Amino acid sequence: MQTEHLKSLFNAYKESLLSGRYIHTQTILKLLEDFRLKPFVDIIGQSVNGENIYSITIGSGSKRILMWSQMHGNESTTTKAVFDLVNVLLSSEAESKSILKTCTLKIIPILNPDGAKAYTRLNANGIDLNRDAQNQSQPESRVLRQIFESFKPDFCFNLHGQRTIFSAGNTKYPATVSFLAPAQDDNCTITGIRKVAMEIISVMNTNLQQQIPNQVGVYDDAFNLDCVGDTFQSLHIPTILFEAGHYDNDYQREVTRAYIFQSLLMAILYISEHNVTGHNYEAYLNIPENQKLFYDIIIRNSSKGDIGIQYDERLVNDSIDFVPKIEKISDLSPFFGHNEINASGYEVLTANGEAVEEGNENDFVWINNEEYSLKLKKN
């Protein structure tokens, strides 16, 4: 599929009711109850706090694709992209007809509704669901495993979001989208099942490189059977990790949302149109591994050294506030800032005129009697 056509589909079918970072069950209920989508929606379980967990099952084909989003409640970009994708699938576009004829998709838009409501990675019991694949100690984990066993997918898409700290390799480029074909064993053997996942990722990467060159990464494939992706891969189902990351000034993740939408649609179309053997996996091996080389802001050359600042994302009055927090004062020459300020050797002071320190939270600082805002600009 041509990139321009992918862009046009996103613009035509982007779900207008979803935006920003704070997406939870109440946000999507109106969409789930829409007359077009409602026949495809099921309640598949409940969370710790008794919130419904929903699935959308659409298509009649023999190739079965299972995907789930917001396993970590504060990773919402892929949920927005999922509903953009569903809008395409419900349309009369030629691509949707082809997909629905050859594939059956089961989509869990929010696996961790309690975490989504609280805007936290963990569930209401403080458990990381992506480290609960073996114990299955949580109701949400058991729901996913039950669906996996009953639906019997041929492919799994594990949809996540990643922090702004990641670079695509050892470079100055942010990891706007990242992937992983998880390992199946302790030796990280490139098995036939992994090759299938790698081939699909290679197709998505080819499209993304035309638009965000050098901004696609892969995660370390160290094997951890407590992780859901590693578990499903070890059960011989090709599984792909999707990670929605940072694009320049895109803290609401609306630009990245488009790239995730394109990637999902590309992957599903490729599956629908091909017998994916894994023979074309080698391009995956050229995608750089993510590194942690970014701060949100670096104030360079202060009298105390470089000052690295990260935004702490906090839920305030049903919206996400990005609080600037000083994480490191040191020589940060190996690192990059999404925004950089040159202090030119001057001291950097708080609003009270005191020298900044690690752990400080500052909306602005003073440098040589000039005020510098550290807050994000409103879009």
DSSP string, 76-98: -HHHHHHHHHHHHHTS--HHHHH
Across the range 294-301, mean pLDDT stands at: 98
Instruction: State the pLDDT at residue 75.
Output: 98
Q: Give the Cα separation of 295 and 293 in Å (integer).
A: 7
Residue 108 has pLDDT above 80, yes or no: yes
CB 175 within 8 A of CB 163: no
Q: Cα angle vertex 274, ends 282, 37, to 5°?
A: 115
Residue 379 in this model has a pLDDT that exceeds 70: no
* Confidence tier at 143 by pLDDT (50, 70, 90): very high
**Where are the extended beta strands (E) located within the chain?**
41-46, 52-59, 63-68, 103-108, 155-161, 166-167, 177-180, 216-218, 239-244, 291-292, 294-302, 305-316, 319-330, 336-342, 348-349, 364-367, 370-373
Contact 271, 65 (CB under 8 A): yes
CA angle 92, 104, 282 (to 5 degrees): 100
CATH architecture of 294-373: Roll (2.30)
Q: What is the mean pLDDT of the chain?
A: 97
- Read off the pLDDT band of 251 (50, 70, 90): very high
Residue 29 is classified by DSSP as H
Please state the pTM of the whole predicted model: 0.98
Contact 325, 312 (CB under 8 A): yes
Please report, in angstroms and rounded to a whole number, the separation of the first and last CA atoms in the chain.
31
CATH number for region 3-292? 3.40.630.10
The CA distance from 120 to 18, in Å, is 19
pLDDT exceeds 80 at position 1 = no
> According to CATH, where is 3.40.630.10 located in the chain?
3-292
Q: Measured between alpha carbons, how far is 331 from 11 in angstroms, rounded to an integer?
A: 43
Give percent above pLDDT 90 in the chain.
Answer: 99
Which band of pLDDT confidence, cut at 50, 70 and 90, is reported for residue 147?
A: very high
Q: Which residues of the chain are in CATH 2.30.40.10 domains?
A: 294-373
Q: What is the pLDDT of residue 205?
A: 98
Name the burial class of residue 333, with classes exposed (0-12), middle (13-18) and buried (19+) by CB atoms within 10 angstroms of its CB.
exposed
Q: What is the mean pLDDT of residues 175-180?
A: 98
- Could you tell me the two tokens for 104? 């059956």
Which ranges in 176-334 belong to alpha helices (H)?
192-209, 228-234, 254-273
